């Protein structure tokens, strides 16, 4: 009988203790003067991944800014450091009698997908997925692989190489070749025969802001894989065509040193 009473008493004490622990959150509480193990000190890879893939909302993301209409004839955003550098370059060009208008800036995954799939729909079914993709890839990126997602890359004045071969276009291109690097901008899609570059054909209009884009390329290599390149027509051939290795990383290197920047 005595044993039963002791057991009941012990159970009541145990129950009361358990309730107290549960109510106060007792054993889970970390005293304030101790280091918390729950704080993650690494970078927010989920945000970086979404940014690299063009899956952020430029309008509400503080890393992106809306481009003033005086620099473009359409509504667009750029990565904020890229925009600041562009404005400096724009002013220097104007002083030399050259006007640099942005015809394309930051693009979302969905926007790139609309470009890609509009082109895809023009091919007849006698072509294989690989053949169609390789042809579109001459000038257009697969969704998720465009440097335009990063807001660091801008297309200037015209989408035709011919435009930059004479008259006003030639003057603009010569100015860019000579001066853009002083502001951090590089023509990453150069003549493939003259460089060891792979990937897209030459684009004299596409300029990349290296101080940010170089880091994004490193992050892309670390964080993005073919599993991330899904949700559009032809995504199945991305690994076979090595779009990450040959296209995302198929860029020319400019003679760029951070100290050369103004
Ligand atoms: Zn471009």
CA 225 to ligand 1 centroid distance, Å: 22
CA torsion, points 133, 139, 143, 145, in degrees to nearest 10?
Answer: 110
Helices 167-179 and 80-95, interaxial angle, to 10°? Answer: 120
Q: Pick from 70, 61, 73, 105: which is nearest to 90 by CA? A: 70
Tens-place pLDDT, residues 138-192: 999 999 999 999 999 999 999 999 999 999 999 999 999 999 999 999 999 999 9
Q: What is the pLDDT of residue 257?
A: 72
pLDDT tens-digit readout, 112-123: 999 999 999 999
pTM for the model stands at: 0.82
Ligand 1 centre and the CA of 155: distance in Å? 5
* pLDDT over threshold 90, residue 96: yes
In CATH, what is the architecture of 45-260? 2-Layer Sandwich (3.30)
Distance 97 CA to ligand 1 centre (A): 24
Ligand 1 centre and the CA of 22: distance in Å?
58
Distance in Å from the first CA to the final CA of the chain: 91
* Confidence at residue 36, expressed as pLDDT on a 0 to 100 scale: 66
Please state, rounded to an integer, the average pLDDT across all residues of the chain: 88
**CA 239: distance to chain centroid?**
19
Q: Is 188 helix (H, G, I), strand (E, B) or coil?
A: coil
The mean per-residue pLDDT over the stretch 209-215 comes to 96
Residues with beta carbon < 5 A to ion ligand 1? 155, 206
Report the C-alpha gap between 162 and 159 in whole angstroms.
9
């Amino acid at each position: 009988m005595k044993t039963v009473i002791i057991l009941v008493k012990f159970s009541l004490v145990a129950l009361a203790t358990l309730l107290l622990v549960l109510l106060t959150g007792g054993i889970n509480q970390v005293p304030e003067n101790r280091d918390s193990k729950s704080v993650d000190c690494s970078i927010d890879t989920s945000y970086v991944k979404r940014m690299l893939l063009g899956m952020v909302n430029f309008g509400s993301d503080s890393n992106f800014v809306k481009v003033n209409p005086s620099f473009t004839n359409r509504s667009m955003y750029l990565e904020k450091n890229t925009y600041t550098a562009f404005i400096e370059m724009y002013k220097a060009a104007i002083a030399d009698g050259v006007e640099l208008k942005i015809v394309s800036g930051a693009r979302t995954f969905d926007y790139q997908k609309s470009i890609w799939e509009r082109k895809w729909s023009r091919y007849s079914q006698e072509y294989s997925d690989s053949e169609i993709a390789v042809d579109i890839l001459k000038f257009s990126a697969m969704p998720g692989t465009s440097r335009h997602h990063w807001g660091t890359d801008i297309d200037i004045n015209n989408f035709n190489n011919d435009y930059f071969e004479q008259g006003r276009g030639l003057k603009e291109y010569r100015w860019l070749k000579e001066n853009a690097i002083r502001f951090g901008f590089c023509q990453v899609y150069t003549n493939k025969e003259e460089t060891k570059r792979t990937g897209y054909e030459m684009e004299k209009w596409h300029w990349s802001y290296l101080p940010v884009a170089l880091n994004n390329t490193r992050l892309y290599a670390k964080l993005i894989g073919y599993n991330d390149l899904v949700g559009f027509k032809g995504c199945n051939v991305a690994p076979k065509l090595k779009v990450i290795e040959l296209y995302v990383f198929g860029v020319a290197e400019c003679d760029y040193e951070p100290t050369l920047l103004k």
